Amino acid sequence: MSKIGNPTSRTRVVREPHRGIYDREAVYQILDEGLVCHVGFVSDGQPFVIPMNYGRSGDHLYLHGSVASRMLRRLDEGVPVCVTVTLLDGLVFARSIFNHSMNYRSAVVLGTAERVEDPREKLEALRKLSEHITPGRWKDVRPPNETELKATLVLRLPIQEFSGKARTGPPVDDESDHALPTWAGVLPMALRAGEPINDPRLDPARGVPDYVKNYSRKK
């Protein structure tokens, strides 16, 4: 697919258009760094927005959950879906409360999801979901068995209609406010992993793997 997406009337950034991102690789970087997406859809006239994890493989997003999930069952029926991912990079403190802001990166993908039927693709999608969260974990654990696979619904969403948006840099104050005796600047924000906590039933001789000890969302 093209590296530069052509924004549609639904994905073109209207508010602060200079912050719009339509480069596919830049949007993929946001998707790959994020952990949680919010899935928006309408069921029986009621809008819902559900947080969940996800994975990306090439030009597709993968969503998964129980076959009993109302959301996944509705998406499997062809209901249009909106998937969003947001990364918070900083709190922006201006000299006036009106000009406070946040530094962020976000991505929006619109489309219609499809059920993954092929067993090999389904297993590979689940591997991608696992590796998206913790690279290296899949090879260390028991893979899903037949019963677990039957209980799991995996959906594939093509990344065709998409856009991103980002804000960076210092506060933008009114010129007259620069003389105010108020601190202004940016407080950087980042997702940081803490110290791993062993399962109480873990073999004491079992060390923490490097991919857990050195965990980071930076790609």
pLDDT tops 90 at residue 24: yes
Cβ atoms of 71 and 86 closer than 8 Å:
no
Residue 48 contacts residue 41 (beta carbons within 8 Å): yes
For the chain, percent of residues with pLDDT exceeding 90: 94
Residue 9 lies in a domain: no
DSSP 37: E
The chain-wide mean pLDDT, for the chain, equals 95
Question: What are the distances in angstroms from CA 197 to CA 115, 134, 202, 207?
Answer: 36, 16, 10, 11
Total domains present in the chain: 1
What local confidence, expressed as pLDDT, does residue 76 receive?
95
Q: What is the pLDDT of residues 81-132, one digit of tens each?
A: 999 999 999 999 999 999 999 999 999 999 999 999 999 999 999 999 999 9
pTM for the whole thing? 0.92
Q: Within a domain: residue 118?
A: yes
pLDDT band at 69 (very low <50, low <70, confident <90, very high): very high
Q: Which residues pair with 153 in a beta bridge?
A: 65
Q: Which long-range contacts (CB under 8 A, 24 or more apart) does 189-198 make?
A: 189/88, 189/89, 189/90, 189/91, 190/89, 191/35, 191/217
With contact defined as beta carbons under 8 Å apart, do 22 and 7 qualify? yes
Q: In the prediction, which pLDDT does 64 show?
A: 97
**CATH number for the domain that contains residue 54:** 2.30.110.10
Residue 2 lies in a domain: no
CA distances from 146 to 68, 114, 138, 149 (A): 17, 21, 17, 5
Instruction: For the chain, report the end-to-end CA distance as a whole number of angstroms.
Output: 22
Q: What radius of gyration do the chain's Cα atoms show?
A: 21
* pLDDT band, very low/low/confident/very high, at 25 (cuts 50, 70, 90): very high
In a domain, 7, yes or no: no
pLDDT digit string, tens, across residues 183-202: 999 999 999 999 999 999 99
| pLDDT at residue 218, as a whole number | 73
Q: Report if residue 193 sits inside a domain.
A: yes
Domain membership of residue 5 (yes or no) is no
Strand partners, 82: 40, 110
The pair of structure tokens assigned to 187 is 């407080």
For 13, the 3-state DSSP assignment is coil
Task: Give yes or no for residue 217 having a pLDDT over 90.
Answer: no
In the predicted model, is pLDDT for residue 28 greater than 90?
Answer: yes
Reported confidence tier of residue 5, pLDDT bands at 50, 70, 90: low
Q: List beta partners, residue 56.
A: 61
4: helix, coil or strand? strand
Q: Is residue 148 part of a domain?
A: yes
Give 135-153 pLDDT, tens digit per residue.
Answer: 999 999 999 999 999 999 9
Q: What contacts 169, CB < 8 A, 6 or more positions away?
A: 103, 186
Domain-located, residue 219 = no
Tokens standing for residue 98:
């009106």
User: In the prediction, which pLDDT does 3 show?
Assistant: 67
Enclosing domain of residue 105: 17-213
